[in-house]
Amino acid sequence: MVLQVQTPDQVTEQRDAENEARIESLKASYKGNPVTDELASHVRSMWEVAKFNRMELNNRLRDCQRRRAGEYDESKLQAIRGQGGSEIYMQITSAKCRAAKAWLSDLFSPSGDRPWRLNPTPIPELPPSVEQELVMTAVQGAVELGVPMEQVTDMVMKHRDRLLDELKMEAEDRSERMAEKIEDLMIESGFREAFDEFIDDLVTYPFAVLKGIEFRRTKKLKWMDQDGTFQPSMGEEIIPTIRRVSPFRCYPSPATGAKIDDHWVIEHHSFTRQDFVNMRGAPGYNSEAIAHVLNHYGLGGLREWIWDDEERDNLAGHFSSAADKELIDALEFNGRLSGRQLLDWGMQGNIDEYEEYPVSVMVVHNYVVRALLNPDPAGKSDYHKACWSNVPGNFAGIALPESLADCQDTCNAAARALINNMGMSSGPQVWVETDRLAAGEDISVMHPWKIWQTTTGAGAGSGNGIGFFQPASNAPELMQIYERFSRYADDISGLPAYAYGSDNAAGAGKTASGLSMLMNAASKTIKHVVRNVDIYVIEPLVEKFYNFVMLTSDDESVKGDCVPHARGSEALIHKESATMRQQELLAMTANPIDMQIIGLDGRREQLREVFKSGDIPVDRIIPTKEEMQQRAEEMAAAAQQQQMQGPPQQVQPQQ
């Protein structure tokens, strides 16, 4: 028996050779599909176009990121260091961004309520079967009662109005149940975390992107009842998710206008091996292609390099590590393709070659891991974009740091000059005739009561050999410049300092009513931002979930004809004043005349709104409509029983 001995290097070389042979055999076994190869080539060609078109936008994104982080760009920093002195950076932009995010977060998270609602359509339509049955019932009733046929139309209209009123009430109940269902789905999809990151991008960059809904297979812990005891059980579930898309990873088409779904858009992903493992078996994903991706790039990774990746990551506080080399980059194409292209690429289904179809294609190098038609009935994109300040016809708007750039640069210059001047004028400066100094005298050391030794030789000059002078201080003028441009920043951004806690509100701001008036005036700018988010993000996202529930839910009681409506702009009314108005209205209607008009149901709705604004558990205190109806029936039955028993007999006292 011969025992073969190998060195560690030989073992490593043999293992590498085996891995390479395995990969080559897998590549050989993968018969390239001309359809997917051509589709991947098309996506990669669009990727090259989008990268080239994004060069100027990348510079803007990095500039906004630097201003938010409070750092100079490299060329500016070298110029400052060339002159010497302070490198201070005043964090005005960062403070404004934090204040804007806090304000927007407060507006989109109203206490005890949703930032959106579902409204039933104003005029619900009767189904044709109900309409026909209504006419037949009215005609039959008129014949039995001997009513002239001329009055049948009036009877039909009266019954129709009654049915429409009942339909409106039913539609309102269904819309409320649908809203609760959508809210539950949005919480499970990670909407709160993703929306918080989205707002951070909104106040920092020229645009912010939120994607939803997309479906992912996730593991979920469930508690199962086994013999009277609950035991943990891990299960897998495909759930709708929402996530924030980094502006650095969103590459729109050069032809894209103000709306993100005007043309195609490509998202640059970086996945781990586990991400691809979770994709296997999910609807629309190619498990075979995913397996080849894991085998080919699972160990060494795959990077679609961007020229500004390193600087961007360093500004974000993320420095490259060995784990980054294991990431696998993917390109996700979302847009419309012609039916002829889809048929040529072998996509199945009822496809018209002259029609444009919304598709979603994910490519890893030359492997198509996903290619499917957009399941949304309206064909709308899953990406939702908003800007701090829109520019008509442009994909990217004007970012908050960009609008503050001039004020920020001026304040930085004033602060640097102030620090330098303070250092220069902090003490006297000295001039010395070096040829008058005694041997060994150190001119770099000064201290109180120091004795300066000088000489008066033939080569020495006349006069004092040492002199002192005090540089002038320009601190007051520089402080005025700084304060003036700092106030300009308040006006330009629409975020005055008193809006986030400062006591520098002069004039009307010294009183409560005056400060409230100033806050209402300052909210004009933020209203524009809130309107952008309402129209382009909140309402389309809620509509996505509404369509999803309508298509997949088995609960018919939540389905109805509804329209989503965002309420972010309504939250700009101060909560305290809104609560006071509700309480005043509640007190004003507490009289018999108004109670006859609004009834118990109207009073119940008033109490619900007041309790909601006060963070009071409404469902525990306010009864439902069914409970109130049951109480009314019980009271009516008790009154009827008491009436049947007759008035109570009076007992005569004994003498």
Whole-number Å distance between alpha carbons of 194 and 541? 12
Q: Comparing 634 with 7, which gets the higher pLDDT?
A: 634
User: How far is 270 from 12, CA to CA, in rounded Å?
Assistant: 29
List of residues 6+ apart from 175 with CB closer than 8 A: 118, 119, 120, 560, 562
Most confident by average pLDDT, 18-27, 434-443, 484-493, 575-584:
484-493
The mean of the pLDDT values for the chain is 78
User: How far apart, in whole angstroms, are the C-alpha atoms of residue 311 and residue 319?
Assistant: 9
CB–CB of 164/126 below 8 Å?
yes
Average pLDDT score over residue span 259-286: 84
Q: Which residue has tokens 């399941």?
A: 375
Which residue has 């204040």 as its token pair? Answer: 99
Q: Per-residue pLDDT tens for 616-652?
A: 666 677 787 777 778 877 887 887 777 777 665 555 5
Enter the tokens of residue 251. Answer: 């590459």
| DSSP code for 233 | E
What single DSSP character describes residue 200? H
Q: Who has greater pLDDT, 331 or 568?
A: 331
Count CB atoms within 10 A of the CB of residue 216.
15
Strands (E), 451-553: 466-469
The pLDDT assigned to 121 comes to: 77
Q: How far is CA 193 from the centre of its chain?
A: 8
Return the structure tokens found at 582. Answer: 């509700």
Q: What percent of the chain has pLDDT over 90?
A: 19
Give CA separation, 259 vs 399, 471, 568, in Å.
17, 58, 20
Q: Are strands 328-338 and 265-271 parallel, antiparallel or unpaired?
A: antiparallel
The C-alpha atoms of residue 433 and residue 466 are separated, in whole angstroms, by: 6
CA angle 271, 276, 282 (to 5 degrees): 130
49-53, 339-343, 447-451, 582-586 — most confident range: 49-53
pLDDT number for residue 233:
78
- Which pLDDT value is given to residue 298? 75
Return the structure tokens found at 205.
């960059």
Residues shown for the chain: 655
Residue 32's pLDDT band (cuts 50, 70, 90): very low
Task: Quickly tell me which residue has 């004003």 as its tokens.
Answer: 588
Confidence of residue 202 (pLDDT cuts 50, 70, 90): very high
pLDDT-based confidence at residue 26 (cuts at 50, 70, 90): very low
Cα(366)–Cα(292) distance, rounded to whole angstroms?
11
Burial class (CB in 10 A: 0-12, 13-18, 19+), 293: buried
- Residue-level pLDDT at 211: 92
Q: What are the backbone dihedrals phi and psi of residue 386, each rounded to the nearest 5 degrees, phi first?
A: -145, 155
| pLDDT for 358 beyond 50 | yes
Task: Using pLDDT thresholds of 50, 70 and 90, give the confidence band for residue 204.
Answer: very high
Q: How confident is the model at residue 342 (pLDDT cuts 50, 70, 90)?
A: confident
Provide the 3-class DSSP secondary structure of residue 101: helix
Instruction: Indicate the angle between helix axes 92-107 and 405-424, nearest 10 degrees.
Output: 140
Q: Using alpha carbons, select from 413, 353, 309 the residue that is nearest to residue 51.
A: 309
Please check the confidence at residue 61 and state whether its pLDDT lies above 90: yes
What residues have CB less than 8 Å from 85, skipping those under 6 apart? 416, 419, 420, 423
Q: CB–CB of 548/181 below 8 Å?
A: no
Q: pLDDT class for 68, splitting at 50, 70, 90?
A: very high
pLDDT of residue 35: 53
CA angle 638, 641, 643 (to 5 degrees): 110
Contact (CB, 8 A) for 622 and 611: yes
For residues 76 and 63, what is the distance between their CA atoms, to the nearest angstrom?
12
Residues 447-486: pLDDT tens digits? 888 888 877 755 555 667 788 888 888 999 999 999 999 9
For 115-162, write each residue's pLDDT tens digit.
888 888 776 665 566 556 666 776 676 667 676 766 666 766 766 666
What's the count of helices (H) and strands (E) in the chain, helices before strands? 21, 12
Least trusted range by pLDDT, from 190-194, 441-445, 506-510, 554-558: 506-510
First and final C-alpha spacing in the chain: 131
* 214 bridge partner residues: 241
Please say whether the beta carbons of 194 and 210 come within 8 A: yes
pLDDT for 514: 54
8 Å CB contact between 453 and 441: yes
From 97-101, 150-154, 272-276, 649-653, the region with the lowest mean pLDDT: 649-653
Strand partners, 202: none
How many CA atoms, within 13 angstroms, populate the side-chain half-sphere of residue 436? 15
Q: Out of 76-90, 250-264, 367-381, 613-627, which region has the weakest mean confidence (pLDDT)?
A: 613-627
DSSP classification of residue 455: -
Residue type at 85 in one-letter notation: G
**Per-residue model confidence as pLDDT tens digits over 80-96:** 988 888 899 999 999 99
What sections of 358-495 are H helices per DSSP? 400-403, 405-424, 475-493
Average pLDDT of the residues in 83-112: 85
Please write the tens of the pLDDT for every residue from 378-418.
778 889 999 999 988 889 999 999 999 999 999 999 999 99
Higher-scoring residue by pLDDT: 10, 245? 245
Please, which residues have CB within 8 angstroms of residue 645's CB and are 6 or more apart in sequence? none
Residue 159 has what pLDDT?
Answer: 67
Reading the block at residue 347, the tokens are 């996509």
Q: Is 361 exposed, middle or buried (0-12, 13-18, 19+ CB in 10 A)?
A: buried
Q: Is the dihedral of CA 528, 533, 534, 535 positive or negative?
A: positive
CB atoms within 10 A of CB 219: 9
The answer to whether residue 432 scores a pLDDT higher than 90 is no
| More confidently predicted of 80 and 38 | 80
> What stretches of 366-436 show up as alpha helix (H) in DSSP?
400-403, 405-424
In this predicted structure, what is the pLDDT of residue 408?
Answer: 94
Q: Are 360 and 334 in contact (CB under 8 A)?
A: yes
Question: In angstroms, rounded to a whole number, what is the distance separating the alpha carbons of residues 609 and 172?
Answer: 16
pLDDT, one tens digit per residue, over 298-325 is 777 777 655 555 555 555 555 555 445 6
The CA radius of gyration of the chain, in Å to the nearest whole number, is 37
pLDDT at 537: 92
Q: Is the pLDDT of residue 22 over 80?
A: no
pLDDT for 30 equals 40
* Distance between CA atoms of residues 578 and 516, nearest Å: 13
